[in-house]
């Protein structure tokens, strides 16, 4: 047997339908698209259209909204502050401010202020001044003899 004698089984392959190639092809003239109208043109997609019926995306109720006045705080846990103190990136003897947290690399951006949360173990006596804090974080710092000052959020440059 030679390569030029090989052939597929009858019916194994199907010829491609060549649309719009004259009347002899059976799909000439309009190419199976019907007469006129939006769907007969090229580049048409009518997704979500339900033939005049109110579409699903309009029947479903709207939900939620974005508050334009919402504040975004940089969140820091007490356990992370202790980890940075142990790594000598933050000096526990000096007051800890939002700026010192940025300089140490614990916070990338201050945003609308820094908020301290109580997750993690704290073992150092600290003097912290930040924009916000949870009650349990304040209690944890004051239990070790430290002080906690909560200031107002920094004003953005106008």
Domain boundaries, the chain: 74-150
| Axis crossing angle, helix 135-143 with helix 78-86, rounded to the nearest 10 | 40
Closest CA to 107 of 74, 136, 138, 131: 74
In terms of residues, how long is the chain? 158
Asked whether residue 158 carries a pLDDT value surpassing 50, the answer given is no
pLDDT of 14-65, one tens digit each? Answer: 999 999 999 999 999 999 999 998 889 888 878 888 888 999 999 999 999 9
Query: What Cα–Cα distance (Å) separates residue 11 from each residue in 7, 14, 17?
Result: 11, 7, 15
DSSP classification of residue 73: B
Contact 151, 130 (CB under 8 A): yes
Name the token pair of 128.
């912290």
pLDDT of 85-107, one tens digit each? Answer: 999 898 888 999 999 999 999 99
**Is the C-alpha dihedral spanning 58, 59, 63, 69 positive or negative?**
positive
β-bridge partners, 117? 77
Task: Evaluate if pTM is beyond 0.75.
Answer: no
CA distance 130 to 153: 9
Mean pLDDT score, 64-86: 92
Other beta carbons less than 10 A from residue 115's beta carbon: 19
Mean pLDDT of the chain: 89
Fold of 74-150: Ribosomal Protein L15; Chain: K; domain 2 (3.100.10)
Coil, strand or helix at 84: helix
């Amino acid at each position: 047997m030679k390569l030029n004698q090989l052939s597929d089984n009858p019916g194994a392959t199907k010829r491609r339908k060549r649309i719009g190639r004259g009347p002899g092809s059976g799909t000439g003239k309009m190419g199976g698209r019907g007469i006129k109208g939006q769907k007969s043109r090229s580049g048409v997609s009518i997704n979500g259209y339900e033939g005049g019926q109110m579409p699903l995306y309009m029947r479903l109720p709207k939900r939620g909204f974005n508050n334009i006045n919402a504040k975004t705080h940089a969140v820091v846990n007490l356990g992370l502050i202790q980890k940075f103190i142990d790594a000598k990136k933050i000096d526990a003897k000096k007051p800890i401010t939002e700026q010192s947290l940025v300089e140490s690399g614990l916070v990338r951006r201050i945003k609308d202020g820094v908020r301290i949360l109580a997750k993690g173990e704290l073992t150092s006596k600290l003097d912290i001044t930040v924009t916000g804090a949870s009650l349990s974080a304040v209690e944890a710092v004051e239990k070790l003899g430290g002080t906690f000052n909560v200031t107002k959020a920094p004003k953005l440059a106008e």
